Amino acid sequence: MRIYRHYRTLPDEARGAAIAVGNFDGVHKGHQAVIGEAGRIARAGGLPWAVLTFEPHPRRVFQPDQPSFRLTPMRAKARALEALGVDAMIVQRFNRDFSRQPAEAFVKNVLADGFGANHVVAGYDFVFGHKRGGNCELLLSMGKKLGFGFTAVSAINDGEGEVYSSTRIRRCLRDGDVRGASAILGRHFSYEGRVSHGDQRGRAIGFPTLNLHLGSTVRPALGVYAVRVGNLEGGETVWHDGVANVGKRPTFGGEDVILEAHLMNFSGDLYGKLIAVTLIEFIRAEKKFDGLEALRAQIAADKKTAQSILAEAPA
């Protein structure tokens, strides 16, 4: 998959595509239906299959003080789109100047002139342009005039009639409902980042850990998880079973939320490497212990619990 940073600089081979348009934070099953419809149209017509998304997330521009909420920062989103088979990801920089563009100008300047779009696909509730003045009806009517087709994809529901949404995933994660989040995503939820050096306390008590700062990504329920950890560098990713704590480390008086993962049956140096930590199951809430011996005993118990969970979890 190729990644392009602006609609004005697209090469000829990326123009004339069937384009799915949206934020697609999470690339969950509802998003996959929109993106997949663009793919179906692209393959049927021999067209490039593209996704247009926006960075940073518009919510971060308009509500910069809001707590971390992202499900898939750009790198993780690109990885999810590539796994679907998308040919091109166009990452349009989003700022207040871009947001002031009237909806009609976005359709003409970006979709028609910039992309030379052959067909545009969006979710039924997609809105865009200054003061959210554009919607699917505008895309349909302007597409007829400007020479591109348009398809609106209806809401996709789970078996209980609830719509797949990023909001539901965030709620599941904050409640510790990892399986619920995975059911909406269609895959396990993962954090990605580079391993940073910590204070070596885990190593000192016999459980060395990899430290990952969560950045702008949503915080889950604080506590201990059964996880799988993969090195995303150097070819095919190899996954290792592990147990991780996501929290403030109250036993040591910590304040920042950090992910600390202990890998089972692993030897090697991952410091500075880009890794993914996939949440498989929530084990228990974070708590403060009355000393290192109590903490060590609990980690050993958590490790056994994680091993049992991972032995039953699909690879």
Residue ranges of the chain with per-residue pLDDT less than 50: 204
Name the H helices within the chain.
Answer: 29-45, 58-62, 74-84, 96-99, 103-105, 136-146, 166-174, 178-185, 201-204, 292-312
- pLDDT at residue number 204: 46
- pLDDT at residue number 178: 96
| Residue pair 241/284 in contact by the 8 Å Cβ criterion | no
Structure tokens that stand for 227 in this block:
């996880």
Domain boundaries, the chain: 2-153, 189-312
pTM: 0.90
Arch. (CATH architecture) of 189-312: Beta Barrel (2.40)
Of 167, 93, 100, 151, give the one whose Cα is nearest residue 128. Answer: 100
- pLDDT at residue number 147: 96
For residues 43 and 275, what is the distance between their CA atoms, to the nearest angstrom?
Answer: 33
Q: CATH class for domain 2-153?
A: alpha beta
Characterize the bridge pairing of strands 258-263 and 210-213: antiparallel
Instruction: Give the count of alpha carbons within 13 A of 36, CB side only.
Output: 12
For residues 38 and 267, what is the distance between their CA atoms, to the nearest angstrom?
Answer: 43
- pLDDT at residue number 234: 76
- pLDDT at residue number 166: 96
| Residue pair 121/37 in contact by the 8 Å Cβ criterion | yes
- Sign of the torsion formed by the C-alpha atoms of 11, 15, 20 and 23: positive
Q: Which amino acid is at 48?
A: P
Burial level of 243, CB count in 10 A (0-12/13-18/19+)? buried
- pLDDT at residue number 206: 52
Quick count: other Cβ atoms within 10 Å of Cβ 208?
A: 16
Long-range contacts formed by 243-249: CB under 8 A, 24+ apart: 243/283, 243/299, 243/302, 243/303, 243/305, 243/306, 244/209, 244/277, 244/279, 245/209, 245/286, 246/214, 246/219, 246/220, 246/221, 246/222, 246/286, 247/222, 247/223, 247/286, 248/222, 248/286
